[in-house]
Amino acid sequence: MGPEPDVLRLQRALRDLVALSSVPAAWVGREPPAIASGLADVLVNTLYLDFAFVRLSGPGGGAAVEIARGSAWRAFPEWRQQYFAAHGRLSRTEVVADIRGGAQGGCGIVIPVGIDGESGLVAAACDRAGFPTETDQLLLSVAANHAATAFRMADLVHNHRSAEEALRESERQLRKARDELEMRVAERTIELQRSEAYLAAAQRLSHTGSFGWDASSGKLSWSEETFRILECDRDDQPTVEFILQRTHPYDRARVQKTIDLATQGKKHLDFEHRLLMPDGRIKNIHIVGHPVFDESGEFFEFVGTAMDVTERRRAEEERQALAHANRVATMGQLTASIAHEVKQPIAATVVNAQAALRWLGAQPPELEEVRQALERVAGDGLRASEVIDRIRALVEKAPPRKEALALNEVICEVIVLLHGEVVKHGIAVQTQLAEGLPRIQGDRVQLQQVILNLILNAIEAMRGVGEGARELRVSTVKADAGGVLVAVRDTGPGLDPVKLERLFEAFYTTKPGGLGMGLSICRSIVEAHGGQLWADVNTPQGAVLQFVVPRGAPEVQPEQPPPLVATTAGPVGG
């Protein structure tokens, strides 16, 4: 009969061990709080304990889970606090003999999980006699280690799932970023293609090609329009030698020198030359290039444009030819006036020469009178010479020549030339020429032609008005932008405000038998000088034509105004 209790205890222990061994299977896939809670329930319900406390920690001091069951060991928190305050860690199993501190008894046990309790601890209490036996300690250790293993597995699974989810999220973000990048690349590609198409169209319309030139290697890159301008095959390799071959022989040395100077000094390119095409045609091309430097300041390449200005040059030549024809026609209209202007000083010369002869024949000769008469002869000769020189300059076909001009002087020269016309038509001329005007850069003959045309138009407009109402006023003032504003006002019948702008159209005229080219040529001349020409209604009567031209070089000193005064149907001030 004696061994029977030991056998029963062994059977009970084996049963409890089997039960504990089957519990971990239920913890597979469970979250850490569920594992800790399950362990506490097993200790209370399966091992018949009165109190159970479970603390499980993740590896490396990760987040811990604490669960308590039963209230038999109320003072456990205080005990735990005091123990760790004294020892710092739980490195071995601790048995507490009297958990209630009185006659009621009851023992407790605290078991570390893992080395030095790094994985947590398990505490249990029971008032059963002999608790905790070695079997109790063994079962508690088995249960705690099973729970710790499950806890770690759950933590690993959780981390693995988190890593997988993070990886999937990263993949989603990468796919999204790739899709967005591909979309942006596609959009940018379309934009670039559209921009290239616009650029190519703009270059075709403006006859302007672009180029890049690595001066160190001699490598050139051209746009489609540059190939088109130079009329070479797209498959040909662009070279400086090819450009020189296409250059007109008369311009080749100058172009070579310009290129050499630009490459040596890393300076801007800006020049114009002619091309001689294989079929004998001549083109005019304008080259503009800028040096490009890298971040370290080293010269990298030239980039620039090549513009076909052949049509522009042809239009300029045609405009100059029309302007010359207009000047010749105007001189033909002024034949009588010009003859009068030349005849006056010649007649005065004859009179003064005859007077000098008479003074020489006197006894004794009046030498002082002779000297004065000869001085007048010389002066009249110079007057005649000046008139002829002005006429020759207007009629002569010469290329434009820009120089620093005083517009007041130009106006006075034209008014003197038109003196006969003014007198013949009984027109009162007034000049209001401002002082201290800046000099402008321009061609004297072309600007004389503009002023000549404007005054002749005013004279023509006043032919049909009463004698007393024929007034012509020419004025100059300093323009807002620093240039000079010239205005020619008349008291004629005026202009139709609706047709003001049509006055400057080629072949549009309000005169019987007129060609309609004068004002059109005048506007093109003024615009070629960087200015503007326009018409307006004069107050209280007539019309006013005005033009403004920009000032020339800032270092040119302002002109000194000539002593002009108002005149009426007689000698013109100047």
Answer for the pair 203, 223: CB distance below 8 angstroms, yes or no: yes
CATH code of the domain containing 109: 3.30.450.40
d(CA 346, CA 499): 45
Mutual angle of helices 32-45 and 134-206, in 10-degree steps? 170
Closest CA to 307 of 330, 289, 322: 289
Q: Is 194 inside any structural domain?
A: no
0.85 exceeded by pTM: no
Q: Assign 99 to helix, strand or coil.
A: coil
Q: Is 346 inside any structural domain?
A: yes
CB atoms within 10 A of CB 325: 14
Both structure tokens of 76: 């456990």
Residues 278 and 390 in one domain: no
Which residues span the domain enclosing 570?
400-574
Q: Is 201 inside any structural domain?
A: no
Beta strands in 387-530 (DSSP E): 403-405, 428-433, 440-442, 471-478, 484-490
CATH code of the domain containing 551: 3.30.565.10
pLDDT confidence of residue 568: 36
pLDDT confidence of residue 571: 35
Answer with the one of 162, 188, 217 that is the final residue of a domain.
162
Distance (Å) of CA 453 to CA 29, 211, 450, 463: 105, 45, 5, 16
Enclosing H/E stretch for 112: strand 107-113
CATH code of the domain containing 216: 3.30.450.20
Residues 303 and 448 in one domain: no
Q: Is 298 inside any structural domain?
A: yes
pLDDT confidence of residue 207: 66
pLDDT confidence of residue 562: 42
Residues 391 and 339 in one domain: yes
Answer for the pair 454, 411: CB distance below 8 angstroms, yes or no: no
Q: Which ranges of the chain have pLDDT less than 70?
A: 1-30, 58-62, 101-105, 154-155, 158, 191-207, 215-218, 265-266, 300, 317-345, 347-348, 351, 380, 383-384, 386-400, 466-468, 496-518, 552-574
pLDDT confidence of residue 553: 47
The count of structural domains within the chain is: 4
Both structure tokens of 427: 């027109």
pLDDT confidence of residue 15: 63
Residues 393 and 445 in one domain: no
**Beta strands at 107-113 and 120-126: parallel, antiparallel or unpaired:** antiparallel
Residues 343 and 474 in one domain: no
Q: Is 223 inside any structural domain?
A: yes
- At residue 51, φ and ψ (nearest 5 deg) are -150, 140
Q: Is 63 inside any structural domain?
A: yes
Residues 266 and 133 in one domain: no
For residue 364, whether the previous peptide bond is cis, meaning omega lies within 30 degrees of 0, is yes
Residues 390 and 404 in one domain: no
Q: Is 501 inside any structural domain?
A: yes
pLDDT confidence of residue 1: 44
Both structure tokens of 331: 């001189």
Residues 352 and 243 in one domain: no
Residues 230 and 335 in one domain: no
Each residue of 272-290: pLDDT tens digit? 888 888 888 888 888 888 7
Residues 428 and 548 in one domain: yes
Residues 457 and 515 in one domain: yes
Answer with the one of 369, 398, 427 that is the final residue of a domain.
398
Residues 274 and 361 in one domain: no
Q: Is 491 inside any structural domain?
A: yes
Answer with the one of 99, 131, 162 that is the final residue of a domain.
162
Each residue of 97-133: pLDDT tens digit? 878 766 566 888 898 887 777 878 889 888 888 888 8
CB atoms within 10 A of CB 396: 11
CB atoms within 10 A of CB 260: 10
Beta strands in 374-427 (DSSP E): 403-405
pLDDT confidence of residue 220: 73
End-to-end Cα, the chain, rounded Å:
160
Torsion of CA 83, 88, 93, 98, to 10 degrees: 0
CB atoms within 10 A of CB 504: 19
